[in-house]
Structure 1
Amino acid sequence: MTKTFKSGRMKSYENLSQKNMKETFRLMNLTKQHKKVILVGDGAVGSSYAFALVNQGIAQELGIIEIPQLHEKAVGDALDLSHALAFTSPKKIYAAEYADCADADLVVITAGAPQKPGETRLDLVGKNLAINKSIVTEVVKSGFNGIFLVAANPVDVLTYSTWKFSGFPKERVIGSGTSLDSARFRQALAEKLDVDARSVHAYIMGEHGDSEFAVWSHANIAGVNLEEFLKDTQNVQETELIELFEGVRDAAYTIINKKGATYYGIAVALARITKAILDDENAVLPLSVFQEGQYGVSNVFIGQPAIVGAHGIVRPVNIPLNDAEQQKMKASADELQAIIDEAWKNPEFQEASIN
């Protein structure tokens, strides 16, 4: 009887062990799913983004596309990045062609004419729309059926053009939007208030550019409304907060005047968005997303918080704005709409538009 009991117990343990092993392998397969990213543009932003992906162990495959004249740079960067893999995690990295986009999960566009000292992001419209059209056309021709992530400037306009030229659903075309601006805002507030930036919850919305605005009405520190939090901080004046926002808004100009370009901050912002997509996080991030009447704005891509996951934008998160913020959102959208309307007078862009 004892022997039979022991035998039965052993079989139960074996069955349980087999079930556990099957579940373990199932989970391992889920976590080992092969994720492929194609980066178009290996300039300062693109190469910094690739480095961020390697450092953070994001994706299992990274292809880097450059124009023919710079193909060898992409080859060199792929080789250089691969030498860091022994310190991070396995990844296939190579100089890619547009045909490699066919089975990619994500195509990230950083290629475009860089912003020079004295230029605004909107000054880049003409040059970068033509570049964007050629890139999107080639990517779509490959049979790509994933998600576009756009970072080239002016990002809201180029996210719109990527949507128009690709014919993709609006949910699968995403711009980096005000993700970097919001990070700058949080860091600036953190330094001013002497707290960790990760405990600061605040957004910049609108255009990624001169017409962006701070959503002061919902800024909070660890859940405490900023206005309430400041009551315990007697040494911060309203004028200081205005100057703080202006510093955030103009940060790119400051950096460009000092070192020629910005790339580290936006690279890490792109890596964060990439992780949210590839890991299906349903994270809330401030992105350039299509407007369908929210805030009284339609038919433009503009920066606002949105839920993002494996299928792209799940839905926008429509923060209730006060009257002043609502007016700023509308003014920012109107400025973008005027730029788009002017650009689409070009027959070349009209003919290339699918959406």
Structure 2
Amino acid sequence: MNFVKNKLVVVGAGMVGSAVLNSVLSLNLLSEVVIVDINDKKAQGEALDASHTTSFAYSPNVKVRAGSYEDCKDAQIVVITAGPSLKPDDKLDRLVLADTNVKVTDSIMKNIVKYTKDAIIIVVTNPVDIATYYCQNNFDYPKNRIMGTGTLLDTARMRKIIGKKYNVDSKNVHGYVLGEHGGSSFTSWSDVNIAGIPFDKLDDIFKVEAHADKEQIDTEVRDSGIEVLKLKGYTSAGIAMSVSRLVKAILLNEQSILPVSSTLEGEYGISDVALSIPCVITSNGIENKLEIPLSEDEIDKLNKSADSLKEIIKGLKDNK
């Protein structure tokens, strides 16, 4: 496949799509960014607005434009953000979007596969685990070349909360939020550490007065997106940065380990459902899915997360 070097297509010019557009431009790694939307004028407006930023010093001269699905044919990366998002007055559960956004994703993938089965596809559309499963299992597309943003943002939120608790840069907090990007996600506390110091020893080492409560932190992580939604009406900055992190890992063939959503094929004894575990991300997409050591309780939580998602998948299949 002859790619245009460092070309990326964003499908969806809504709040998230426009945030992704501006975030990936700030990486200074792309030569061309194309935005595609059913509302072509909106796509043109977002592209025109973003293109003006390339005139500033230290901004590369990226070609930014509105386009069509045909632009996927020589793109290295395609980011799917299209589909309605939760609104503050909705039932605040990403899974309520499943039926509508699977239909949206179906239409998008049918258009993408007309032109490529080589690009790395990053799925952002919620519920991201359901949308990722649908993309990976219905279009004869290499599964390793499709990934959902999954719990990458949840992991960033967890690290920020813990870093703030112990007054350290959150980039020195290590560990993952796993499972569903939603109500059944959980932190793998057996792996969480700061600079190699296990979580259960942090209170003593950092001499904090109030003990860190794992359940409280997990709840805060799960509720963070909903809190942003209630306060500003939508979420965009965090998820856009999550996409940028994946784009950078792919373009630079980083071999970084990041929690992304993908269909499990026996990992932890789980199959036929997409959820997040740590994965090695390269220019080939998902190079390897890692079964990191988990406690029995954490494996049980992962299975519960899988069962919850499987019920949604079954419901979608039954409604076909």
**TM-score w.r.t. structure 1 length?**
0.85
Query: Deviation string for 1:54-78 (max 9, x for gaps)?
Result: 12213211110000xx211111111
Partner Cα separation in structure 2 for residue 265 and residue 329 of structure 1: 24
Q: Displacement, 1:52?
A: 0.7
Q: Displacement, 1:234?
A: 4.1
- Correspondence for 1:81: 50
Q: Secondary structure at the match of 1:166?
A: coil
Q: Displacement, 1:177?
A: 0.7
- Correspondence for 2:33: 62
Pairing 1:306–2:275 present? no
Q: How many residues align?
A: 312
Pairing 1:112–2:86 present? no
Pairing 1:128–2:81 present? no
CA contact (8 A) 2:136 2:263 kept: no
Amino acid at match of 2:64: I
CA contact (8 A) 1:104 1:144 kept: no
Partner Cα separation in structure 2 for residue 126 and residue 62 of structure 1: 30
- Correspondence for 1:101: 72
Partner Cα separation in structure 1 for residue 314 and residue 174 of structure 2: 35
Q: Displacement, 1:164?
A: 2.3
Partner Cα separation in structure 1 for residue 97 and residue 280 of structure 2: 29
- Picking from 211, 217, 235, the partner of 1:237 is 211
Amino acid at match of 1:99: E
Q: Displacement, 1:242?
A: 2.3
Partner Cα separation in structure 2 for residue 146 and residue 256 of structure 1: 31
Pairing 1:186–2:159 present? yes
- Correspondence for 2:229: 256
Segment drifting more, 138-147 vs 285-294: 138-147
Over aligned residue pairs, what C-alpha RMSD do you find? 1.2
Q: Which has the higher helix share?
A: 1
Amino acid at match of 2:143: K
CA contact (8 A) 1:286 1:303 kept: yes
Matches within 5 A, 1:194-343: 194-232=167-205, 233-238=207-212, 240-343=213-316
Amino acid at match of 1:74: A
Q: Which runs of 5+ in 1 are unaligned?
A: 1-32, 348-355
**TM-score w.r.t. structure 2 length?**
0.95
Partner Cα separation in structure 1 for residue 209 and residue 307 of structure 2: 37
CA contact (8 A) 1:48 1:263 kept: yes
- Correspondence for 1:172: 145
Q: Which runs of 5+ in 2 are unaligned?
A: none
Q: Displacement, 1:241?
A: 3.5
Query: Deviation string for 1:140-161 (max 9, x for gaps)?
Result: 1123421111001000000011
Q: Secondary structure at the match of 1:153?
A: coil
Query: Deviation string for 1:91-122 (max 9, x for gaps)?
Result: 11110101111111111000011112233100
Residue identity over aligned pairs, in percent, reads 38
CA contact (8 A) 1:283 1:307 kept: yes
